[in-house]
Amino acid sequence: MALRTNARAVGRFFSGPADFGSEGTLATIERNQPRKGQAGPGKAQESSLERQLPRNLEAERAVLGSILLLPEVFDEVALVIRGQDFYDDANRILYEHLLQMHDGGQQIDLMLLVERLRTADQYDSIGGAAYLAEVGQQVPTAAHAVYYAGIVADKSVLRSLIHAGTDILHDAYDPTADTRDMLSKAEEKVFGILESRGSGEVKVISEVLQESLDRIDARMDQQHAFGGLETGFDDFDQMTGGLQNSELIILAARPSMGKTALAMNMAEHIALAGQSPVLFVSLEMS
């Protein structure tokens, strides 16, 4: 019962979201001795870096504490972060257990969480009752749970960029590596980070269905759905509906097959027709 009381206490250590530091500098948070098993995914490459990887341990605990105090916020939090976004291994384990409870329709309760941790033989490795009490106490207000989750997500993105940059740097020093292949891999790494985050936008199913039906009707009527930019190539425009917003369009072909000329023709047509401002950037790998 004492554990429940401590965990449900709303701590006053911080006055609000603005009080969170960017590097987790509180003495009570940065332990000299890591907990058993504390070597999470976010720490894999830190030994090879001169500076500490971006993280905010206070925000991570605030997310967990907010979910325990106000489980209703989980739906919004889950749209912002994933388990692997947590830097601290114990925090990741706690979040994944809470997520499984939420997805399984179970009531989110501290004592039920403790039981799950004991069953999985992870109770001691995450720090036991003392750490769970600390998580519960360190919540300025559960109403800011999504804000805290955003901080955690941002730090995760920064770590991913650092890891990708480290890999790219390592590959660039390889004298036998193919330049084009390295550029392609570098692009894949960066775009992979972007795609993994998703848009985070939630839509009502009726809106999505109506938009899809409108697109289908426009295609059947040979109209350009939702303001697609006409390229000047009629057959292409009728098949695709034009160039749509937010699309990444890749023209792929062997060298000297006319990729640049085709792109220039499209850009010129769009600009002259006044459909949209156009910026053309040519970066030759040769």
* CATH code of the domain in which 77 resides: 1.10.860.10
Alpha-carbon distances of 152 from 5, 78, 88, 148, rounded to whole Å: 26, 12, 11, 7
Judgement on whether residues 211 and 285 belong to the same structural domain of the protein: yes
Share of the chain above pLDDT 70, in %: 76
pLDDT, position 12: 36
For residues 212 and 19, give the distance between their C-alpha atoms in angstroms, rounded to a whole number: 44
Residue 188 is among the residues annotated as catalytic for this protein:
no
Query: What are the contacts of 250-256 at 24+ separation with CB within 8 A?
Result: none
For residues 85 and 66, give the distance between their C-alpha atoms in angstroms, rounded to a whole number: 17
Choice between 259 and 140, residue whose per-residue pLDDT is larger: 259
pLDDT digits (tens, 9 = 90+) for 79-113: 899 999 999 999 999 999 999 999 888 899 899 99
| For residue 277, pLDDT beyond 70 | yes
Choice between 156 and 286, residue whose per-residue pLDDT is larger: 156
Judgement on whether residues 219 and 107 belong to the same structural domain of the protein: no
3-state SS, residue 101: helix
Taking residues 115-141, report their average pLDDT: 92
pLDDT digits (tens, 9 = 90+) for 136-182: 887 888 889 999 999 999 999 999 999 999 999 999 999 998 999 99
Which residue, of 148, 170, 192, is where some domain finishes? Answer: 170
Judgement on whether residues 27 and 148 belong to the same structural domain of the protein: yes
For residues 76 and 259, give the distance between their C-alpha atoms in angstroms, rounded to a whole number: 44
pLDDT, position 28: 35
Quote the Cα angle for 265-267-270, to 5°: 105
Evaluate whether residue 76 is within a structural domain.
Answer: yes
pLDDT, position 286: 57
pLDDT digits (tens, 9 = 90+) for 51-84: 889 999 999 999 999 999 999 999 899 989 999 9
Q: What is the dihedral of CA 141, 142, 144, 150, to 10 degrees?
A: 130
3-state SS, residue 243: strand
- Range of 152's domain? 2-170
Q: Which residues fall within 8 angstroms of residue 196, CB to CB, at 6 or more apart?
A: 160
For residues 142 and 10, give the distance between their C-alpha atoms in angstroms, rounded to a whole number: 9
Taking residues 255-282, report their average pLDDT: 88
pLDDT digits (tens, 9 = 90+) for 202-244: 667 877 788 778 767 766 665 554 457 888 888 887 777 788 7
pLDDT, position 222: 55
DSSP code per residue over 103-169: HTT----HHHHHHHHHHTT-TTTTTHHHHHHHHHH--S-GGGHHHHHHHHHHHHHHHHHHHHHHHHH
Judgement on whether residues 80 and 122 belong to the same structural domain of the protein: yes
For residues 53 and 85, give the distance between their C-alpha atoms in angstroms, rounded to a whole number: 13
By CB atoms closer than 10 A (0-12, 13-18, 19+), residue 285 is exposed
What is the phi/psi pair of residue 121, to 5°? 55, 40
Count of domains forming the chain:
2
Length of the chain: 286
Evaluate whether residue 194 is within a structural domain.
Answer: no
pLDDT digits (tens, 9 = 90+) for 15-42: 344 445 444 433 333 333 445 444 454 4
pLDDT, position 86: 97
